[in-house]
Amino acid sequence: MLVIIVVVLMLMPLLGCAQHRDKVLLVFSYHPEYAWQAEETKGVEEVLVNERVQIEKLSMDTKRNTSAEWIEKITEEAVRKIDEYKPDVVIVFDDNACELVAKKYVGKRLPFVFTGMNGEPEDYGFPAENITGVIERHHIVATIDLLRRLVPDVKELAIITDNSPTSQGFITDLEKTTLPVPISEVYATNDFSDWKAKVEELQLKVDAIGLFQYHTIKEGSGEQSLPPEEVLAWTLQNSALPDFAFFDFTIRDGALCGVTVSGYEQGKAAGEIAVKILKGEKAEDIPIQCPQKGTVIINATRAKNLGIQIPADVLRDAEVER
């Protein structure tokens, strides 16, 4: 009997180690139904599924709900979740979660990994001794070059987008980029009437329209953002211009073409950094990353409707949505 007790006592620390699972909290800026968030989730979970970790998620839903009251409420909920769950590492997805949550923890002990960041890391106080991550940079020049392969005579472009933190980060990046074709106007609005008027105005002013984000567009004084599919559908139905985009879901939903960033790659890269931290590396020793992989996508139906013939060499290199 004494021997059994001794053996059990010796095994208890090992059993405790076997049962221990690191906790990872995923804090998303948006909502699970948003295609970008779904891809980010797929990427991070593909990495973490191979590790002994316990995962919990919080979606802040700040595209559909943009009021100050909601932002305050959901931010408090995120902080409370961190306090109660006591994660070993937090991964924050996209700029709103960086601004509203991760920024509060700069210099503290809890490690954070950010991903999907359109802004500049220093705007949030990153990197910090406990914070590193992944920035999102769009393939602007490559997308315009792709457009020119489909429509060689384009000479002047415009871009229209919603007026969100994501869009503001993109506009800042755009201003630093040397472009192969001039962009005469970048128009940002959250009002659907203004959006419609601008799309109609641009028909006679430019040769093509770039569509960035349209997820915080509202009708009149409404508090809830319109379904983005509705905004995009109206735009495509009321524009006869070639359009280019920077997210795969915009092209899959009907826009002509783009070299798109990957939410999956953003999530995967963040997961890999989180695993390094859980295995003992310090956040401050892990450089900020920027995945370079882009996906060439063309919507064949939109090309046909616009009377655009897709060259064979472009088809060979592209993912074609029909």
> In this structure, is residue 182 part of a structural domain?
yes
> In this structure, is residue 129 part of a structural domain?
yes
Query: Cα–Cα distance between 321 and 300 in angstroms, integer?
Result: 6
Q: 228-237 and 192-202 are packed helices; what angle lies between their axes, rounded to 10 degrees?
A: 30
> In this structure, is residue 17 part of a structural domain?
no
Tell me the sheet residues that pair with 135: 117
Query: Cα–Cα distance between 130 and 285 in angstroms, integer?
Result: 9
* Cα 98 to Cα 115, 129, 196, distances in angstroms: 9, 15, 31
Structural domain boundaries, residue 248: 140-260+295-321
Distance of CA 256 to the CA centre of its chain: 20
- The pair of three-digit structure tokens given for residue 50, joined into one six-digit string: 């191979």
Q: Are residues 236 and 103 in the same domain?
A: no
- The pair of three-digit structure tokens given for residue 52, joined into one six-digit string: 């002994």
- The pair of three-digit structure tokens given for residue 119, joined into one six-digit string: 């802004």
Q: Residue 182's pLDDT is what?
A: 94
Query: Cα–Cα distance between 273 and 112 in angstroms, integer?
Result: 10
pLDDT in tens, 1-45: 544 444 444 544 444 444 578 999 999 999 999 999 999 999 999
Q: Are residues 239 and 273 in the same domain?
A: no
> In this structure, is residue 53 part of a structural domain?
yes
Q: Are residues 122 and 33 in the same domain?
A: yes
> In this structure, is residue 8 part of a structural domain?
no
Q: Give me the helices (H) in the chain, please.
A: 2-19, 35-48, 68-85, 94-100, 140-150, 165-175, 192-202, 228-237, 248-252, 263-278, 300-305, 312-317
Is residue 258 within 8 A of residue 245, CB to CB? The reply is yes
The count of structural domains within the chain is 2
Q: Give me the helices (H) in 86-155, please.
A: 94-100, 140-150
Residue 32's CATH number: 3.40.50.1970
Ranges of the chain whose pLDDT falls below 70: 1-19
Q: Residue 312's pLDDT is what?
A: 94
* Cα 215 to Cα 64, 82, 85, 133, 183, distances in angstroms: 7, 27, 31, 24, 22
Q: Are residues 316 and 188 in the same domain?
A: yes
Residue 236's CATH number: 3.40.50.2300
Q: Are residues 110 and 217 in the same domain?
A: no
Q: Are residues 223 and 245 in the same domain?
A: yes
Q: Are residues 97 and 242 in the same domain?
A: no
Query: Cα–Cα distance between 276 and 133 in angstroms, integer?
Result: 12
278-309 burial, b if ≥16 CB within 10 A, otherwise e? beeeebeebeebebeebbbbbbeebbeebebe
pTM (2 decimals)? Answer: 0.88
Q: Residue 304's pLDDT is what?
A: 97
Residue 299 region by backbone torsions, left for phi larger than 0, else alpha for psi between -120 and 50, else beta: beta
Q: Are residues 214 and 278 in the same domain?
A: no
Q: Are residues 48 and 30 in the same domain?
A: yes
Is residue 231 within 8 A of residue 297, CB to CB? The reply is no
Q: Are residues 27 and 117 in the same domain?
A: yes
> In this structure, is residue 1 part of a structural domain?
no
Q: Are residues 178 and 308 in the same domain?
A: yes
Residue 298 phi/psi, 5-degree rounding, is: -130, 135
Q: Are residues 271 and 125 in the same domain?
A: yes
> In this structure, is residue 14 part of a structural domain?
no
> In this structure, is residue 222 part of a structural domain?
yes
